[in-house]
Amino acid sequence: MEYNENRGDKKPPHKKQFNFHTCKNNTVKSLREVEYFLNNLRDFKRYLHLYKFFKK
């Protein structure tokens, strides 16, 4: 008797239906997070530059 005989057939996973509204909201949230990160990165560079300037 083979090992797979008693396991039975598995059903394929249920495909999720595409939801445009959810996809749009996730994209907008991601873009806002990227924008926030880039703004903070610019501020960080400015503070780092000031720190190096005053350290000398």
Tens digit of each residue's pLDDT, the chain (56 residues): 455 555 666 777 778 788 888 888 889 999 999 999 888 888 888 888 888 888 87
Q: Where are the domains of the chain?
A: 21-56
Whether pTM > 0.85 for this model: the answer is no
**Structure token digits, residue 27:** 């994209």
**DSSP secondary structure string for all residues of 4-56:** GGGT-PPPPPPPPPP-HHHHHHHHHHHHHHHHHHHHHHHHHHHHHHHHHHHH-
Q: What's the CA gap between 48 and 12, in Å, rounded?
A: 54
Task: Please provide residue 19's backbone torsions phi and psi, each rounded to the nearest 5 degrees.
Answer: -120, 105
